[in-house]
Amino acid sequence: MKALRLQQWKSDPVLVEVDEPVPGHGQVVVRVGGSGACHSDLHLMRDFDAGQLPWGPPFTLGHENAGWVHAVGAGVVGLEAGQPVAVYGSWGCGACPRCRLGIETYCEDPAGAPVPGGGGGLGLDGGMAELMLVPDARHLVPLPDGLEPVEAAPLTDAGLTPYHAVRRSWPKLYPGATAVVIGVGGLGHLAVQILKATTAAQVIAVDTRVDALALARQEGADHAVQAGDRITEEIRDAAGGHGADLVLDCVGSTATLALGAAVARPLGDLTIIGIAGGTLPVSFFSVPFELSVQTTYWGSRPELEEVLNLAGRGLVRATTTTFPLEQAAEAYRRLEAGEITGRAVVVPAPR
C-alpha cells in the first residue's frame, strides 16, 4: 500500500510503497477513513533535529485518525470488522497511574510504551495510509451513530486538544466571563465551538487571516478581531475592560504569548497550546496577579469520548477540506501557506 512518510528530519514527506500491517495479539488494524493534517506535522518537517525527541523518522505521518476496524488480532474482544472507530493517538505504557486513568499523554513509564512519548504518526506509523496498525484495542473509541470517520478524525486532536484545555478552565468560565482564542485554524475553530457548547463565556477570536476570522464568526465567536496594532485595546474593550478569564494560545509565539498576558484578567488562565516555541518573561510586574500560565498536551481518552459525544449530538463539527492520499503533500503545502480554512483531512480509504 501507499503511505505518506517522513523519511528524515528537516525534509518534506514522500509517498512510498510499504507493506500492509498485520495485527498481532491484542492489536487492531484500522482502515483509515480520515487522517487530519496537523500544524504539528509542519513543525516535525521543519523544526526538529536528530536527538531532540525520543523518537524519529522514518514513520508514516497522520496522528489524527478515524476509520473502520479492518482486522483484529488474537485476544481482541468487543470490536467487529467494519465498525467505525476513532483512534486515541497518544500511546503510553497502559499500566502506570496516568495511563490507567486514560491520560496516556502523561505516561509515567515511557520506556514501557510502544514508543516513548509518541504514538501513531509520531514516531510510529500513522494514518496517512490505507491501513494503520493500532498496538492495543484500548486506543479505539467507537463512533456515535451518524458520525463518519472523515468527520471524526479532526476531533481526535484538533478537537481533543482544545477540549482538554477548555475543560480544565471550566470553573473560571461562568456566565459573564470571557475566553480569547488566538489562532483560528484546525484547533482554534474547534476551540470556539467547544467554548460555546460547554460554557456560557463570551468568546473573542483572534487571527491574522480574514478567512479565519470569518470562520470564527460562523462557528459562534461573539467577536473576531484581526491581529494588529490596536489588538490589545480591541480585546480589552470587547471583554468589558477587565480582560480575559481564559486565553487559549493556539500559536505559541513570543508575540502571541505577550498578547495573551496583556489581555488576561487577574486570576485568569493563559494556556499555551501552540508549539511555535515563543517565550513569556514572568516576573512580579510582568503578568496580571494570580494569572496561571500552563502548557497542555493533547487530552485523555475519556475526554475523547466526551468530544465525540458533543459531535454525535451536533454540538461540535469540524469544518474540513478533504484530499485523497495522493494529494496529502498538497494538503500540507496549503496548510503551510495559510490556505486552509478549518482542517485539511486526508482520506486514504473512502467510504
Q: Residue 279 and residue 289: Cα distance in Å, rounded?
A: 19
Pick from 99, 184, 204, 216: which binds Zn ion (CB under 5 A)?
A: 99
Query: What are the φ and ψ backbone dihedral angles of 197, each rounded to 5 degrees?
Result: -80, -25
Radius of gyration of the chain (CA): 20
Q: Residue 349: name the closest of 69, 139, 80, 134 by CA.
A: 69
Q: 11 vs 81, which CB is nearer to ligand NAD?
A: 11
The one-letter code for the residue type at 95 is A
Residues 38-77 that bind Zn ion (CB under 5 A): 38, 40
Q: Residue 82 and residue 28: Cα distance in Å, rounded?
A: 12
Pick from 185, 243, 268, 348: which binds ligand NAD (CB under 6 A)?
A: 185
CB atoms within 10 A of CB 97: 11
Q: Residue 203: name the closest of 162, 164, 153 by CA.
A: 162
The one-letter code for the residue type at 345 is V
Residues 21-50 that bind ligand NAD (CB under 6 A): 38-40, 43
Pick from 130, 157, 245, 306: which binds Zn ion (CB under 5 A)?
A: 157
Query: What are the φ and ψ backbone dihedral angles of 155, each rounded to 5 degrees?
Result: -70, -20
Q: How far is the CB of 141 from ligand NAD (least distance, A)?
A: 18
Does position 212 bind ligand NAD by CB under 6 A? yes
Q: 296 vs 327, which CB is nearer to ligand NAD?
A: 296
Q: Residue 270 and residue 265: Cα distance in Å, rounded?
A: 9
Does position 276 bind ligand NAD by CB under 6 A? yes
Q: 204 vs 304, which CB is nearer to Zn ion?
A: 304
Q: How far is the CB of 299 from Zn ion (least distance, A)?
A: 11
Q: How far is the CB of 245 from Zn ion (least distance, A)?
A: 26
Q: Residue 64: name the closest of 184, 183, 182, 187 by CA.
A: 187
Does position 274 bind ligand NAD by CB under 6 A? yes
| Per-residue cell: 260 | 495573551
Pick from 255, 266, 279, 286: which binds ligand NAD (CB under 6 A)?
A: 255
Pick from 33, 56, 92, 121: which binds Zn ion (CB under 5 A)?
A: 92
The answer to whether 161 and 273 are in contact (CB under 8 A) is: yes
Pick from 7, 208, 254, 294: which binds ligand NAD (CB under 6 A)?
A: 208
Contacting positions for ligand NAD (CB under 6 A): 38-40, 43, 157-158, 161, 182-188, 206-209, 212, 227, 250-253, 255-256, 273-276, 296-298, 335, 338
